[in-house]
A and B are shown apart, each in its own frame.
Chain A
């Protein structure tokens, strides 16, 4: 298992952003669904070793990220795309990807080839020498994805990766996700259930800091059958039905 999380909580002041999450997953693509404020980004940031949990256990790639040495080793093998990707306006796409390849401590001799491969995989080859300030939002997002995959990570964490991508780019991105998921554990936080249906082998649905469903997209879609839940597609109805059931159970308790 590349990700082993046990009863993890994360508290900011009096608010529990993550309230007792357990999750185990190996290679494949896991879609992390949920409404705004469900705790998806906080959970991803804990898995990206940016913030430690308030309680509970986290093991990533067989290591405990609490220690400096293991955390550094995890980070060498980690790819992360934050929700708000900052960028250096004066960098070219290639320089941006190369910068993070070096910060991931890739062997310098391997970096140029890895950078070219990552840029081509996100189909930005034609703009590799363009300054980031000249790119559209979708291109910047793809540059962010390129830096995340440049080290061929074993654990890839993507927070809203398809935001700003046009439909054609999203289709290409889903294909890339499926390809990456054959070797690595890919966790994608998204609002878009169609991304989950098309690219993910597993889905976890979060609400109020908890995982309220973990299964396959088909199982989630089945949860909405005959429920009368809102939604235009089976997955959307399953999403709505599971959330409604969880919230009504919480209200009754």
Chain B
């Protein structure tokens, strides 16, 4: 019987001769599993296929495309914020796009990976693909994407080249700070809050000291502090994601 139809007789009611090769038992369970495997499988998109080739790991590629801050909605939101910044820059000559880029990147980085972001975080930690590697890949891609969006926004706003690229190092510092806080506090929101607060304080302090709002992204005196913060926060993030040692 296959789906209720008796396949053993013809229209005259006589039993049909059964071919020898069909007499063998057919393992329908096995056949069904083969069909189900093809029907249920997920066809990876172009981005995932490219990532799989580049990373040489389909698991890492899948982990990358599930990053919350790389989902289409998040990317569109980031682009809209930066586009608004570029638009205001055109009207006021204040480089809002350059000032917004580090903040947008910090939020994206904080939401790249962690217990508050990945619902199955504990399970992910028991996997052969290292969670540290997942974190690293996600953070690098989110950062790169935000850098591209920031450059596009700055270019569109017609900001001077010094300002166009001046925010990249502050963006690195603010992003690593947000990442480190998100990991240590086990909360993406805490990371975002820390990044945004630190960046706001930096912008306002630099403005008070230098007298213009662009000082946070143009002052060469701030480069070393930015680099130190970035290095220290990266070290904290690396240390905090090690396999927890015992307390003895």
| A and B co-occur in one complex | yes
Binding site for B on A (CB under 8 A): 9-13, 48-55, 68, 71-73, 75-76, 78, 80, 82, 84-89, 92, 94-95, 98-100, 102-105, 108, 111-113, 115-117, 119-120, 125, 128-129, 147
Task: List chain A residues, Cβ under 8 A from B62.
Answer: 98-99, 102-103
A103 touches B59 (CB 8 A): yes
Task: List chain A residues, Cβ under 8 A from B128.
Answer: 72-73, 75-76, 103-105
Which residue on chain B has the smallest CB distance to residue A79? B126
Which stretch (B34-42, B93-101, B154-162, B231-239) binds chain A?
B34-42
Name the distance in Å between B29's Cβ and chain A's nearest Cβ.
Answer: 8
Instruction: List, sorted by A's number, 15 A–B pairs whose CB atoms are closer than 8 Å.
Output: A9-B248, A11-B247, A12-B247, A51-B244, A52-B245, A54-B248, A85-B120, A86-B122, A98-B62, A103-B62, A112-B37, A115-B37, A115-B40, A116-B36, A125-B36
Assess whether B208 is interfacial by the CB under 8 Å rule.
no
Q: How far is the CA of A164 from the CA of B37 in the complex (A)?
A: 27
B125 touches A50 (CB 8 A): yes
Assess whether B63 is interfacial by the CB under 8 Å rule.
yes
User: Which among B32, B36, B38 has the highest number of chain A CB atoms within 10 Å?
Assistant: B36
Task: List chain A residues, Cβ under 8 A from B121.
Answer: 86
B246 touches A103 (CB 8 A): no
Task: List chain B residues, Cβ under 8 A from A115.
Answer: 37, 40-41
Q: Nearest 7 pairs between A and B by C-beta?
A: A54-B246, A86-B119, A102-B59, A112-B37, A103-B127, A94-B40, A116-B36
Assess whether B243 is interfacial by the CB under 8 Å rule.
yes
Chain B residues within 8 Å of chain A by Cβ, number = 35
Which residue on chain A has the smallest CB distance to residue B119? A86
Which of A9, A68, A94 lies in contact with B41, CB distance below 8 A? A94
Assess whether B218 is interfacial by the CB under 8 Å rule.
no
Given contacts A98-B42, A103-B129, A115-B40, contact A11 B248 (CB under 8 A): yes
Name the distance in Å between B120's Cβ and chain A's nearest Cβ.
Answer: 4
Task: List chain A residues, Cβ under 8 A from B38.
Answer: 112
Assess whether B224 is interfacial by the CB under 8 Å rule.
no
Q: How far is the CA of A54 from the CA of B247 in the complex (A)?
A: 6
Q: How far is the CA of A112 from the CA of B121 in the complex (A)?
A: 23
Which of B37, B120, B245 lies in contact with A88, CB distance below 8 A? B120
B119 touches A50 (CB 8 A): no
